[in-house]
């Protein structure tokens, strides 16, 4: 029935993306070595990129690979190697009694609530009555053009604000990572 209603490549893309996302996410939690966790994170990020392509968000899929897998995870790996924590196991004791059980209950409630929200509202079924200009989301080069038009016209102020945010973040990171000798002596005293 499902195969009859939806195209096989779409279903295949969804299944591949879902497997990559869930396997990578569980890997981030399950492995003890932070380097392996970062590599699992890459798997999840590629799965999300596959989901982006399957939903005709081509530009975002490329940015996802370049920025997340290429820059953010590499930054994680740099810090892991720099700190030399790549072989230390995280603590397995529970300082708070029942923390894991409470967290599991909270997560189940969260997922259940989200799915219930999906099931009880009708916009997820593809009703496009509210916004419905009716044009499908553009793909390929026109997808880049559409996002560029939106970012540089409708969201221009937010775009400029992100430029300021990035500058502030870089300056802050440099300031945090700078080692000053007299401050170190103060810290040891």
Using CB under 8 A, which residues numbered 49 to 68 contact other proteins?
Answer: 51-52, 54-57, 59-60, 63-64, 67-68
Give the one residue of 136, 157, 180, 181 binding other proteins; rule: CB under 8 A: 136
Give the one residue of 81, 124, 140, 160 binding other proteins; rule: CB under 8 A: 124
Across 61-71, b (16+ Cβ under 10 Å) vs e yields beebbeebbee
Give the one residue of 81, 110, 140, 141 binding other proteins; rule: CB under 8 A: 110
Q: Does residue 81 touch other proteins according to CB under 8 A? A: no
Place of tokens 């973040």: 169
Q: Does residue 166 touch other proteins according to CB under 8 A? A: yes
Question: How many CB atoms neighbour CB 118 within 10 A?
Answer: 11
Q: Does residue 154 touch other proteins according to CB under 8 A? A: yes
Give the one residue of 16, 62, 65, 82 binding other proteins; rule: CB under 8 A: 82
- Nearest 10 degrees: CA dihedral of 94, 98, 100, 105? -170
Give the whole-angstrom CA distance, residue 39 versus residue 72. Answer: 12
């Amino acid at each position: 029935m499902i195969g009859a209603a939806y195209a096989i490549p779409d279903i295949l893309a969804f299944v591949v993306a879902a497997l990559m996302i869930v396997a990578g996410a569980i890997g981030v939690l399950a492995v003890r070595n932070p380097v392996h966790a970062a590599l699992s994170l890459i798997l999840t990020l590629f799965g999300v990129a596959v989901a982006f392509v399957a939903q005709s968000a081509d530009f975002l899929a490329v940015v996802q690979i370049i920025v997340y897998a290429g820059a953010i995870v590499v930054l994680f790996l740099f810090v892991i190697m720099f700190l030399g924590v790549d072989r230390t196991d995280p603590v397995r004791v529970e300082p708070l009694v029942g923390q894991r059980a409470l967290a599991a209950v909270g997560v189940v409630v969260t997922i259940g609530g989200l799915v219930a929200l999906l099931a009880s509202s009708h916009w997820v079924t593809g009703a496009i009555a509210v916004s419905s200009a009716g044009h499908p989301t553009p793909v390929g080069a026109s997808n880049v053009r559409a996002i560029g038009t939106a970012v540089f016209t409708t969201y221009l102020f937010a775009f400029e604000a992100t430029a300021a945010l990035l500058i502030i973040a870089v300056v802050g990171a440099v300031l945090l990572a700078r080692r000053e000798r007299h401050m170190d002596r103060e810290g040891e005293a």
